[in-house]
Each structure stands twice: as C-alpha cells, then as structure tokens.
C-alpha cells in the first residue's frame, strides 16, 4: 500500500497502484484483461511509463494482438507516449488535463490552457486541431 492520488476519491488515499491493459473488441462487445503491473516505484524502481513499455512489448511483439487504437487516461497523455503510439501508426484517445497549454492559432497567439478554449458545434463533434506545448513544431493533435 502507498499514498496515491485517486480520481474516484478526488484526493490522496492509501491504495495499491495497478497499471492495466484491457483489450476491447467492439464487434463482439467483449473485453479481456491482457496484462497488469503493480505500481511500486519504491520496490522495483519502475515508473508507470516503464510498466507501459513492458506491457506494450508483450502485447505488440509477443502476443501480436491486432488493434487500431489506444484509449488511455490523462496521466498517459504525454509527449513520449502519444508520439510512440503514432510511430506504431495507431490512433489514441485521451483527455488532456485542463491546465495543459495548447495553441490552435498556428502560433499567432500565446499558448493557453485547455479549459479556456472555445468550441464551435462542429468542433465539439469533429474535434479541433491543436498543438500541445512541448511537442514538435508543426505537430498537431485533434
């Protein structure tokens, strides 16, 4: 057990950190737990990213699971993870934390927080191309 933030509790609690990988097949309306790791950085020295890389190697290179997309929470919405998934030529879906700085003006205005963006009805349905601060110069995500 360790002290960690819980989104469900909206605060820090005592708990067991588990990093999971779930495979979803929407055509069959089924899902399977593919892999998991106990997150214990004091015990094994591994970060959540280390666990994600280990699991990714298993399901991509050993189990050869066919997949087209990755659904992840905002903790994994980092440049390293997102660019890695793009290099695998896969799609990812993840929320960005509200304080993340982005630009949708092609550099004509300063970066602003995600929670300060305005959205048209079409953008709410289709998305809005944005550049996340720290990503390569012309790299946009939707």
Question: Is residue 41 very low, low, confident or very high in pLDDT (cuts 50, 70, 90)?
Answer: confident
Full residue range of the structural domain in which residue 45 is found: 2-68
- How far is 38 from 75, CA to CA, in rounded Å? 16
Task: Specify the pLDDT at position 138.
Answer: 86
What's the whole-number mean pLDDT along residues 93-122?
A: 91
What DSSP string describes 45-63?
---HHHHHHHHHHIIIIIS
Count CA within 13 A, CB hemisphere, residue 142.
8
Residue 18 belongs to some domain of the structure: yes
pLDDT surpassing 80 at residue 36: yes
User: Is residue 49 one of the residues assigned to a domain?
Assistant: yes
Q: Model's pTM, two decimal places?
A: 0.77
pLDDT tier at 132 (50, 70, 90 boundaries)? Answer: very high
Mean pLDDT of 113-125: 92
Please report whether residue 119 resides in a domain. Answer: no
Residue (of 89, 45, 41, 94) closest to 67 by Cα position: 89
Indicate the Cα dihedral angle 95, 98, 99, 104, nearest 10°. 70
Q: Is the residue at 85 inside a domain? A: no
Q: Please tell me the total count of domains within the chain.
A: 1
Q: Is residue 76 situated within a structural domain? A: no
Q: Return d(Cα 84, Cα 51) in angstroms, integer.
A: 14
Residue 58 lies in a domain: yes
Higher per-residue pLDDT: 22 or 66: 22
């Amino acid at each position: 057990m360790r002290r960690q933030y819980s989104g469900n509790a909206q605060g820090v609690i005592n708990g067991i950190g588990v990093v999971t990988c779930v495979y979803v097949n929407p055509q069959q309306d089924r899902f399977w737990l593919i892999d998991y790791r106990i997150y214990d950085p004091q015990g094994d020295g591994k970060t959540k990213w280390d666990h994600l890389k280990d699991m990714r190697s298993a399901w991509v290179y050993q189990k050869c699971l066919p997949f087209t997309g990755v659904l992840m929470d905002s903790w994994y919405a980092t440049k390293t993870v997102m660019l890695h998934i793009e290099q695998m030529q896969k799609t990812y879906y993840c929320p960005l934390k509200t304080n993340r700085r982005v630009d949708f003006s092609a550099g004509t205005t300063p970066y602003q927080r995600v929670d300060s963006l305005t959205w048209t009805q079409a953008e709410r349905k289709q998305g809005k191309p944005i550049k996340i601060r720290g990503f390569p110069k012309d790299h946009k995500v939707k």
